[in-house]
Chain A
């Protein structure tokens, strides 16, 4: 069979690597790559960011976050955690979740909230934090959970009649934790090729080639082009840890709406760590919309960053109107960084 073929690289890290290495310039003419929703910063809905801002603004709260969430605007443009910090909030940058435990133990008189974002790659580390917090009895630590699961989003895109996607490059690091069973189920249900891909330029090119070969031969199966890291079974220990602390939940994604099983929530006795529970309802923050940002269409692969009138003019990494311009893994930021316009 002949192309043209349209593939989606699911993970934002892969989008970044593709543009970083200029791999799109090396692809055969019959192949088009569109960028997927695999950027946890980008898919965190504005109302969750608003909630983070509201919590960080509470008197006495120490709010802990990874660096890439600090500049993501909520529903009010320009309002982000860094701005809040400049106005006096105690917002701290962490590189691993366990640092939040140390912060909480150093400040027993204050409430410490950790903004827990990421796919199944970072969720096990949050799970470890939750376990230790309960084991050590740290009463002043809670988690604002925004963890998301990648395969439900791939299912939504595969099922979307408007989609142009004919094959997926699956996120290798998620598969390294979760194994490949979920992906095999996706292939079986939707009859399209899925190739587990790494993040290095050579690995990505290899994965693109494997996916194209399947399409040319009219095949639809699961290939593993990242076998040096990913096994069918994934990382059972991390998976068990994850399953003991979290359970799948229906959560809203920016741009994709409410996604069945698209996120994680604390289960059973760990629910006591849930910041949503601990702090209850906070006054809502202004209006709730994404403004001129078309991230919803970009995250579904229906539009490209250059289709956006605000791209590079009203919306830049210094003044982002939406999350895909903030995160390193966001498609808009990657295009603006690496391509001449």
Chain B
């Protein structure tokens, strides 16, 4: 394989011949660790007994590299987190790459190295994959699709319909950092100090909660649409009002400041390493004790909506006045993950 720094992906790398073999065996496998079935299109897995969680996600974020992460890390962590939100320990990932002709090879190597590190952080192995190359102008550098398998360790089903009036709503950490990091990178905003994406594996926190006997009624990572989208969906699916104390929401001044400047609602910004947890009230102290060291907080409660009104997300401001959390509309930042 070319070793010089100006080397780029060529159409031949997807052609099925010698160049493709060189790409897979010379670049991908040494960095990612040998696929279990590098000489096969399918891999054969031995899985632990129990229920499995299975999830798939595609990643098209721009820019490909941003403070605190890159598309590679996001593609591994994002899918592993989707498994964790089902109460499952992430085990294995597949990795499909669509590369654009002209993608610089040093950039691809950096992204692959980042994927490998993220896989170690998440405790997953990449066990199968695929590579395609498309003509220049037909993709934005590269697109990544990962699918993941995990084994469920949560005792019960985690669904929005399990939510009950009185349940406590907790956050695992501060909000909106991923969204602001992407925004800043895309629009050339120089934040001082720079704000890094919160992109991080969620299974360790979930595992701690489960090990301590916390039974999550609901668990959701706050990706596209942020907390606002998650709460809106939860309110609709559960038929309950979600009442949040606005001053309790963990937000860094850099996030609120940037949002004020750009006219954005910070609660609509994506996170890639934060989740919302709902638990019944008697489990609140245990859950809070585990989440608060990482910046987590109790932020609100589920309750029955007023008679005749549809369920909504209500924020109580620091003045004691109330407003609705605006539903997310089609935003102008489509490529955040």
Contacts and interface: CB of A to CB of B under 8 A. Distances in A.
A and B are partners in one complex rather than unrelated chains? yes
A22 interface: yes
Interface residues of B, number: 19
B326 A338 contact: yes
A290 interface: no
Contacts of A22: 317, 319, 321-323
A70 B189 CA distance: 21
Contacts of B332: 67, 70, 93
Contact of B326 (A25, A93, A337): A337
A201 interface: yes
A318 B262 contact: no
Contact of B330 (A19, A318, A340): A318
Given A70-B332, A318-B329, A318-B330, A337 B324 contact: yes
A136 B214 CA distance: 65
B307 interface: no
Contacts of A318: 329-330
B309 A21 contact: no
A20 B262 contact: no
Contacts, number: 43
A21 B321 CA distance: 7
Given A70-B332, A95-B262, A328-B263, A339 B319 contact: no
Given A21-B321, A22-B317, A22-B321, A340 B326 contact: no
Given A23-B321, A339-B323, 15 more contacts: A19-B323, A21-B319, A21-B323, A22-B323, A26-B320, A70-B332, A95-B189, A95-B262, A328-B263, A337-B324, A338-B323, A338-B324, A339-B324, A340-B312, A340-B324
A305 interface: no
B321 A26 contact: yes
A201 B263 contact: no
B324 A201 contact: no
User: Is chain B's interface secondary structure helix, strand, loop, or mixed overall?
Assistant: loop
Contacts of A339: 323-324
A93 B323 CA distance: 30
Interface residues of A, number: 20
B40 interface: no
A317 interface: yes
B63 to A, nearest CB: 15
B187 interface: yes
Nearest to B312: A340
Nearest to B183: A95
Interface in A47-96: 67-68, 70, 93, 95
A264 B329 CA distance: 32
Given A22-B322, A23-B319, A201-B319, A95 B329 contact: no
22 contacts: A20-B323, A21-B319, A21-B321, A22-B317, A22-B321, A22-B322, A23-B321, A25-B322, A26-B320, A26-B321, A67-B332, A93-B332, A201-B319, A317-B329, A318-B329, A328-B263, A337-B326, A337-B327, A338-B323, A338-B326, A339-B324, A340-B312
A340 B310 CA distance: 9
Interface of A: 19-23, 25-26, 67-68, 70, 93, 95, 201, 317-318, 328, 337-340
A25 B314 CA distance: 14
Contacts of A337: 324, 326-327
Contact of B309 (A25, A338, A340): A340
Nearest to B314: A340
A337 B323 CA distance: 8
Contacts of A25: 321-322
Nearest to A71: B330
Nearest to A205: B319
A328 B264 CA distance: 9
A67 B326 CA distance: 18
Interface string B301-337: 0000000010010100101111110110110100000
Contact of A95 (B187, B323, B324, B330): B187
A85 to B, nearest CB: 11
Nearest to A24: B321
B140 to A, nearest CB: 16
Contacts of A20: 323
A340 B327 CA distance: 12
Interface in B240-279: 262-263
Interface string B25-39: 000000000000000
B329 A26 contact: no
Contacts of A23: 319, 321
B239 to A, nearest CB: 16
A340 to B, nearest CB: 6
Nearest to B332: A67
Given A95-B187, A95-B262, A339-B324, A26 B312 contact: no
A95 B261 CA distance: 11
Q: Count chain B CB atoms within 10 A of each CB in A22, A318, A337, A339 and give the residue with the most.
A: A22
A191 B263 CA distance: 35
A201 B329 CA distance: 25
A337 B312 CA distance: 11
A177 to B, nearest CB: 17
Nearest to A21: B317
A25 B320 CA distance: 9
A201 B260 CA distance: 13
Nearest to A328: B263
A148 B127 CA distance: 60
